[in-house]
Amino acid sequence: MRPNFESADVERGFFSRHWLKLAIAICFLGGSGWWVGSLLLEEEEKIIQEKYYVAKKADFLVTVKLTGTLVATDVVKLKSELEGETTIQSIIEEGTDVNGTTVYEIKVGDTIQSIADEQDKDSLAIQILNKDLKLDWENLPVGQEIEIPGTLLVELDPLRLKERLNTQDIAVQKAKKELNRAQGNQETLKETTVLALQVAENALEIAQRDLEKTENSTVKNYIQNLEGLIENYEKDVALAEKNLKAYTRLKELGFVSEVEVLREESLKAKTLHHIEMAKVDLEAYKKYDRVSLISLKQLAVKEAEVNIRKTKVKNRADHSDANSTVYTAQKTLELEQEKLTDLQEQMANTKIYAPQDGTVVYWSEHKWGRGDPIINGARVHRGRTLIKLPKSKSLKVEISVPQAKRSQLRKEMRAWVQVEDITLPGTLSVLGTNVDNNQRGHSDKSYFKGEISLDESTELPSGVAEGMKVTVEIQVVDLSGPKRRVRVPNQCVTTRMINKEQSQRGCWVLNPETNQHDWRPVTIEYSDETFIAIKEEPDPDRGLREGELVHLSPLSESKNLNLEEGVQNKGAIDLEANSPSRKKESPSAESEDGEEKDSVANGGV
């Protein structure tokens, strides 16, 4: 019997078709499951990406961005030193290269006016520039070197200075005349006082000699004269007595008449009377006249002595008056001379010369400054800066640091200056400690002065010039390389009230084992507008580790919100967070009363 191969083929075809359908169905179901699984996995990953942030270490750069102005590092500012307000008669064109002061050696026959004419400079300006040399401009020393002003930059209207100069010159000449007269009177007074003192001293000598003569000669001679006279009278009495006896005897004998006897008696009586009167006179002289005469002479001596003292006092007073008059005249002359010098300086200040070589740059006022533009005819006041002359092409950046950012900055911090599409490296070289009142303007905000010094090795492009506005970025913190920290977005960090009085800052982290959110206290080390750098901590229950999933919406886990804590000090940076002077206390993670309040982290400390 022949085998039924056709029937066998039919059976095999039947089974092959069924197996093929089954295989296709299985493949379809497997592919569908894989596709659905992939979709679910992608959806889960998408949910994780939208809901969580993977904690990871990254470079963290904190900077402060400010604006500034490029200025020359070494510049001379030329101001109007003329008193009051005046106008610009002429000013050199901006951008002109000018020459500074030069040295001139005085030659034979030179005068201040001839030098001024030769150099085409104002004579007063030359004198003011060389006033420290204290030269006699009427008699210039040959070979002396003097400075000659540079290029004339600005000429101001002198107003009535010439008239005032002439008037003041007359006042100086009058003051000199008064001083010369006072000095002449002083010299004359010296001679007069010397003579007056000599006369007084001579009068004393005469009085003293007169007293000595009276005591040793006049009085003695007078007493001796009276005593001698009395003695002679006594002898005359004795002689008269003898004559009387003789005439009486002769009368008795009849040789003489009685008249002769009476005459002798009268002569005796007169002589006795003279003796009595002489004795009375002598006694009165010794008792009264001699004392009076000596007292009178002594008084004359004392009067002469007093006269000497009076003369000396008067001489001193006269000398004092003369000295005072001379001193007053000198001070008056000095005052008038100072006024004249001041007017001369003011006259010299009407012309501003270049003190050094450089390129003229007009001074631009601050945005809130007042004043006309620097042009011919513009009104200017004393102290207004008109021109600046940079000494070199090196530049620096002047910045105004707001009070809110002052505490973040330190001197010697690195900085980058952006001038259009050019970046220039530099260093924060100046940081003011006091508020710059010149930058306050009409605002209540406070600013501090700062300067950025560009690196010397940096060659400035030709397109960079003084006065250009720039953007400055100052590096505050550089956490890169080995200093990197775990970085998370600002929104991940929140503040949670662990009790009524104590708050704690942290994040909600996904626990892979329980698939629940665990509270993790953290310490913010630094922050900027976008990210927060978390401080590394050895405690496994504090801080974040790389790879952990941090909840991006911590408010969804909060039961009670404390938004006040979350909005304070937004964007601030605590640069002293790691300072030894500031001790941080880690708040307890245990809740005392079970009440919790959360708030969004503020991105700063």
Protein fold of 163-346: Helix Hairpins (1.10.287)
Question: For residue range 475-516, what is the model confidence (pLDDT) as tens digits?
Answer: 888 888 888 889 899 989 998 888 888 889 999 999 989 988
Q: Of residues 221 and 598, which shows the higher confidence score?
A: 221
Whether 191 shows a pLDDT value over 90: the answer reads yes
Among the ranges given (33-37, 76-80, 452-456), the one the predictor scored with the smallest mean pLDDT: 33-37
Q: Is this model's pTM higher than 0.75 or not? A: no
Helix (H, G, I), strand (E, B) or coil at 169: helix
DSSP tag of 316: H
- pLDDT the model gives residue 493: 92
- Give the CATH H-level superfamily of domain 392-481: Efflux pump adaptor protein, beta barrel domain (2.40.30.170)
Q: Matching CATH topology for 163-346 and 392-481? A: no
% of the chain at pLDDT higher than 70? 82
pLDDT, residue 38, reads 56
Domain ranges of the chain: 5-52, 101-149, 163-346, 392-481, 484-600
Q: DSSP E strands: which ranges in 80-135?
A: 85-91, 97-98, 102-105
Task: Give residue 21's pLDDT.
Answer: 64
How many residues in total does the chain contain? 605
| CATH superfamily for domain 101-149 | LysM domain (3.10.350.10)
Half-sphere exposure for 170 (CA within 13 Å, toward CB): 5
Angle at 595 between CA 590 and CA 596, to 5 degrees: 80
- Using CB atoms within 10 A of its CB, is residue 539 exposed (0-12), middle (13-18) or buried (19+)? exposed
What is the average pLDDT across 407-412? 90
Q: Largest alpha-carbon pair distance within the chain?
A: 268
The whole-chain average pLDDT of the chain stands at 81
**Is the pLDDT confidence value at 265 over 90?**
no
Both tokens of 84, joined, read 């009051």
CA within 13 Å, CB half, 277: 7
**pLDDT of 602 over the 60 cut:** no
**Residue 233 near residue 269 (C-beta atoms within 8 A):** no
CB burial readout 573-599, b (16+ within 10 A) else e: bbbeeeeeeeeeeeeeeeeeeeebbbb
Inter-residue long-range contacts of 363-366, CB under 8 Å, 24+ positions, other chains counted: 363/77, 363/387, 363/388, 364/467, 366/438, 366/441
Q: Which pair of tokens denotes residue 343?
A: 């007017």
Which amino acid, residue 477? V
**DSSP characters for 272-312?**
HHHHHHHHHHHHHIIIIIHHHHHHHHHHHHHHHHHHHHHHH
pLDDT in tens, 314-373: 999 999 999 999 999 999 999 999 999 899 888 888 999 999 888 888 887 654 445 568
Supply the pLDDT for residue 43. Answer: 54
Backbone angles phi, psi at 361, to 5 degrees: -130, 125
Q: Which region, left, alpha or beta, applies to residue 47 given φ > 0 means left and ψ of -120 to 50 means alpha?
A: alpha
Q: What is the pLDDT of residues 132-172, one digit of tens each?
A: 998 999 899 999 999 999 999 999 998 888 899 999 999 99
Residue 460 is classified by DSSP as: P
CA-CA distance, 381 to 368, in Å (whole number)?
17
